Amino acid sequence: MRGRCLGLPAVLLWALLAACSRAPLHQQEAFVFGTRVEVLIAGLPEAQARPAAAAVLREFDRLHRTYHAWKPSELSALNAALAAGRVQTVSEEMAELLADAQRLARLSDGLFDPGIGRLIGLWGFQSDELPGSLPDEVALAAWRRAQPGIADLLLAGSQVSSRQRDVALDFGGYLKGVALDRAVRILRAHGVGNALLNIGGNVIVLGSRNGQRWRVGIQHPRQPGPMATIELDDGEAIGTSGDYQRYFEVAGRRYCHLLDPRNGMPATGTQALTVLISPHPAAGTLSDVASKPLFIAGSDWQHLARRLQVTHVLRVDGEGRWQLSKAMQSRLEFVGRPPQPLDIVP
């Protein structure tokens, strides 16, 4: 068995940022949501930039502690209540997050589903130490029969219950995007107009860096370094899902952390999928959410992209072939020679 828990970053920042400009840049880092986070602020004195970045990191930490699925938190308390068949009173913030997550799950035809926490636990992807074996077949078959998901939740104001007890919530594929949108509001409230926020490869930007657009690189799924770079405009967000980020191998087969709710298995057929989201109050959330169902959908990703109103997509399929939406093609700059074959889709 070979495993990788913290794989190559989905979006590369540091070398590209250094190359953009030698002007001063305030940067704060932390480890939150199980990954490295960065707050970069340009064009402000240290005395103004530092408290703004610190406020962002405090909010990240609060969200992480409040909605941790596997440690004592408001979310784990809700999971315990659902498992016991009890109605749980939740905060206004959690009620809003649950309603929004249900909406996004419907739009994705159920391929984005924060209600599959038990399945994540069966595969062991909630742990920093990835498992050395496949899940118990009996337990996995039982999960498939039950097919629990966030659609089973009943929301009535602050009251949450479930039609079935196997629902367990895990916001791991959702909360980072929510945090990016919160961070944008915090920075603007502090008078910050130029910044880049990175949570484990999910990135959103404000303004520019000294008049130059922020540039990031998109990690190659099978080689070190970026396969392409892209310049981001004010308010744009980018997110990547890849089978190289968290995975393990058994008998030469790769099992990645991106689980298909339809069959309970890790998704196959895609190595990496990147989405670019236009400026929007929830651009960060959509950048985090959308890449996952499109990754899981495989060759059928275009249908879901239309439903989610995502126009900029880069996909590398299981054989390493590239697919680009026409809108994304106009934004990418390839590192080295353009890949061949290159499939451009409407």
Mapped to the 3 state alphabet, what secondary structure does the chain carry? CEEECCCCCCEECHHHHHHHCCCCEEEEEEEECCEEEEEEEECCCHHHHHHHHHHHHHHHHHHHHHCCCCCCCHHHHHHHHHHHCCCEECCHHHHHHHHHHHHHHHHCCCCCCCCEHHHHHHHCCCCCCCCCCCCCHHHHHHHHHHCCCHHHEEEECCEEEECCCCCECCCCCCHHHHHHHHHHHHHHHCCCCCEEEEECCEEEEECCECCECEEEEEECCCCCCEEEEEEECCCCEEEEEECCCCEEEECCEEEECCEECCCCEECCCEEEEEEEECCCCCHHHHHHHHHHHHHHHHHHHHHHHHHCCCCEEEEEECCCCEEEEHHHHCCEEECCCCCCCEEEEC
- Give the per-residue pLDDT at 33: 96
Q: Are residue 314 and residue 243 in the same domain, yes or no?
A: yes
- For residue 256, pLDDT over 60 is answered with yes
Q: Are residue 249 and residue 291 in the same domain, yes or no?
A: yes
| Percent residues over pLDDT 90 in the chain | 88
Answer with the one of 162, 186, 212 that is the final residue of a domain. Answer: 162
Q: Are residue 181 and residue 298 in the same domain, yes or no?
A: yes
- Give the per-residue pLDDT at 3: 56
Q: Are residue 210 and residue 339 in the same domain, yes or no?
A: yes
| Structure-token pair, residue 136 | 């118990």
Cα–Cα nearest to 151, from 202, 105, 205, 203? 105
Q: Are residue 83 and residue 202 in the same domain, yes or no?
A: no
Between CA 27 and CA 13 the distance in angstroms is 12
Question: How many folded domains does the chain comprise?
Answer: 2
Average pLDDT value for the chain: 94
* Torsion angles phi and psi, residue 89, rounded to 5: -90, 125
Residue 291 within any structural domain of the chain: yes
Q: Are residue 47 and residue 143 in the same domain, yes or no?
A: no
HSE value, Cβ hemisphere, 13 Å, CA-based, for 283: 24
Q: Are residue 84 and residue 156 in the same domain, yes or no?
A: yes
Q: Cα dist. 195→158, 198, 214, 240 in Å?
A: 35, 10, 9, 20
Answer with the one of 129, 162, 195 that is the final residue of a domain. Answer: 162
Answer with the one of 162, 184, 202 that is the final residue of a domain. Answer: 162
Across the range 25-37, mean pLDDT stands at 96
| Structure-token pair, residue 246 | 């968290």
- Give the per-residue pLDDT at 8: 43
- Give the per-residue pLDDT at 206: 99
Beta bridge partners of 42: 25
pLDDT interval class at 340 (50, 70, 90): confident
Across the range 117-136, mean pLDDT stands at 94
Residue 169 within any structural domain of the chain: no
Across the range 46-73, mean pLDDT stands at 98
Q: Which of 25-29, 79-83, 86-90, 125-129 has the lowest mean pLDDT?
A: 125-129
| Structure-token pair, residue 126 | 């909630």
Between CA 20 and CA 104 the distance in angstroms is 36
Q: Residue 81 carries which side chain, given as an amino acid letter?
A: A
Question: CB within 8 A of 227, min separation 6: which ones?
Answer: 218, 219, 220, 221, 316, 334, 335, 339
Q: Are residue 145 and residue 197 in the same domain, yes or no?
A: no
pLDDT interval class at 338 (50, 70, 90): confident
- Give the per-residue pLDDT at 341: 86
Across the range 301-306, mean pLDDT stands at 98
| Structure-token pair, residue 317 | 């399929």
- Give the per-residue pLDDT at 14: 44
Q: Are residue 80 and residue 60 in the same domain, yes or no?
A: no
* CB-based burial label for 319 (10 Å; 0-12, 13-18, 19+): exposed
Domain that holds residue 211: 2-66+176-345
- For residue 22, pLDDT over 80 is answered with no
* CATH code of 132's domain: 1.10.3980.10
Strand pairing report for 259-260 and 265-266: antiparallel
Q: Residue 39 carries which side chain, given as an amino acid letter?
A: V
Residue 284 within any structural domain of the chain: yes
Between CA 57 and CA 65 the distance in angstroms is 12
Between CA 267 and CA 257 the distance in angstroms is 8
Q: Are residue 62 and residue 157 in the same domain, yes or no?
A: no
- For residue 198, pLDDT over 70 is answered with yes
- For residue 212, pLDDT over 90 is answered with yes
Q: Which of 12-16, 111-115, 151-155 has the lowest mean pLDDT?
A: 12-16
pLDDT interval class at 131 (50, 70, 90): confident
Across the range 85-104, mean pLDDT stands at 99
pLDDT interval class at 23 (50, 70, 90): low
Q: Are residue 336 and residue 231 in the same domain, yes or no?
A: yes
pLDDT interval class at 80 (50, 70, 90): very high
pLDDT interval class at 13 (50, 70, 90): low
- Give the per-residue pLDDT at 15: 42
Q: Are residue 337 and residue 235 in the same domain, yes or no?
A: yes
Residue 171 within any structural domain of the chain: no
Residue 168 within any structural domain of the chain: no
* CATH code of 197's domain: 3.10.520.10
The pTM of the full predicted model, rounded to 2 decimals, is 0.94
- Give the per-residue pLDDT at 6: 44
Question: CB within 8 A of 294, min separation 6: which ones?
Answer: 241, 273, 275, 301, 304, 305, 308, 310, 313, 315
